[in-house]
Structure 1
Amino acid sequence: MSKTTRATQALQQAGVSFTVHTYEYDPHAERIGLQAAEAMGADPSSVLKTLMVLVDDKPACVILPSDQEVNLKKLAAALGGKAAQMMKPADAERITGYHVGGISPFGQKKRVPTVLEQSGLAHAEVFMNGGQRGLQVKLDPRAAVSMLDAKVAAVI
C-alpha cells in the first residue's frame, strides 16, 4: 500500500501536520468507518467518515464521526439548501477521484462545499481517510476545517 496519495500530498502542500496510519480494510464491513475504528483500536467518535452528498442537486462533502448518521435536513440547512441526499457511489468516485471506502476530503478532483460535524472538534486529533482503502491520516480537526474551508455545524 502506498502511503502517498493525493490526500497526503494536499496536506503536505498545505503545511498541515499529520501522521499516517494503516489498517486491514474489510470490503464486506457493514459500516466502513466503524470497521476502521475497530481495526485501529480507536474511539469511533474520533474516526471521522467522509460522505459525498447532493444538496439541491449540487455536490457537497460531509465529515462526521463514524458512529453517527448524518441528518440530511440539518445538512441541507447548514449549506443553505432545501434538500440533501446521498450521492450514488459511482458519482462520488467520479467527482472525488477516489474509490468508495477510500474517499478523503483532502485532494479531491473537484473542490466542493464541505461541512464538518461540530462534535468532531471535541477531539485534539481525529482520523480521516487518507485517500486509499485502509489508510487514515491523524490530524487536528481544526487544521482540517481551515484547509478545507469547511463549515462547522450540527448535522447529526
Structure 2
Amino acid sequence: MAQTPAIALLEKHRIAHRIIEFSSAHHAGDYGRSAAAELGQSEQQVFKTLMVELDGKRLAVAMVPVAGQLDLKAVAQAFAARKARMANPQDAQRATGYVVGGISPLAQKKRAPSLIDASALTFDEIFVSGGRRGLEIAVAPQALIDLLDTTVAAISG
C-alpha cells in the first residue's frame, strides 16, 4: 500500500483511520461518485475535497458529500469573503501537491483554511481522499475537524 502525505499525517498524530484502495479506472470524470460506488458506501458519507478561490486571491478547502453540490455563496459567507468560486484545477494541484480527483484535505503543500459540510457530523466515520485517485481514508469526522482546525458549516446544496 502506497504511503501518501495524508496517511503519514494521520499516523504521526495517531488518529484512527482505515485505508481503502480501489480501481479508479471507471471514473469518467466524477471521481467522488465513482469512489462511493467502488466502496459500496452512501454518496452522503463519501466527501469530495474541493479547492475554492476567495475574493480572487486566496485558496481554501471545502469538503462536501459527493451526493451534493458545493454552495459557493455559503462558502463565501462562512469565510467572510465577498465571493467564492471554484479554483483553477492547475492552481489547486500546485497548492495541494495532489492531482485533481485525488486531492486530500490532509497534508496539503500549502495549508489553506477549510470548511466541511455539517452533514459530516451525522456519521461515525466519513471517507475522504487519501491523496491519490483510488485511495480513500475512513476517519471520524471530529478527528478530521480537530486535526485541520476545520470550520463546520452548511455548504452543500
TM (normalized to structure 2)? 0.95
Q: Which residue of 2 aligns with 1:18?
A: 17
Q: What's the offset of the Cα at 1:3?
A: 2.7
1:9-39 deviation per Cα after TM superposition (whole angstroms, max 9, x unaligned):
0111122110100111136524210110001
Q: Which residue of 1 aligns with 2:7?
A: 8
For structure 2, the residue ranges without an aligned partner over 5 or more in a row are none
Instruction: Provide the rounded CA distance (Å) in 2 between the counterparts of 1:16 and 1:121.
Output: 17
How many residues end up aligned between the 2 structures? 155
CA RMSD in angstroms, aligned pairs only: 1.1
The runs of at least 4 consecutive aligned structure 1 residues that moved more than 6 Å come to none
CA spacing shift, 1:109–1:39, aligned 2, 3 Å: same
Q: Which residue of 2 aligns with 1:53?
A: 52
SS in 1 for 2:115: strand
CA spacing shift, 1:126–1:97, aligned 2, 3 Å: same
Instruction: Provide the rounded CA distance (Å) in 2 between the counterparts of 1:108 and 1:148.
Output: 11
Q: Which residue of 2 aligns with 1:106?
A: 106
1:106-155 deviation per Cα after TM superposition (whole angstroms, max 9, x unaligned):
01001101000001111101110000110000010110000010000011
For structure 1, the residue ranges without an aligned partner over 5 or more in a row are none
Q: Which residue of 2 aligns with 1:72?
A: 72
Instruction: Name the % identity.
Output: 37
Amino acid across the alignment from 1:50: T
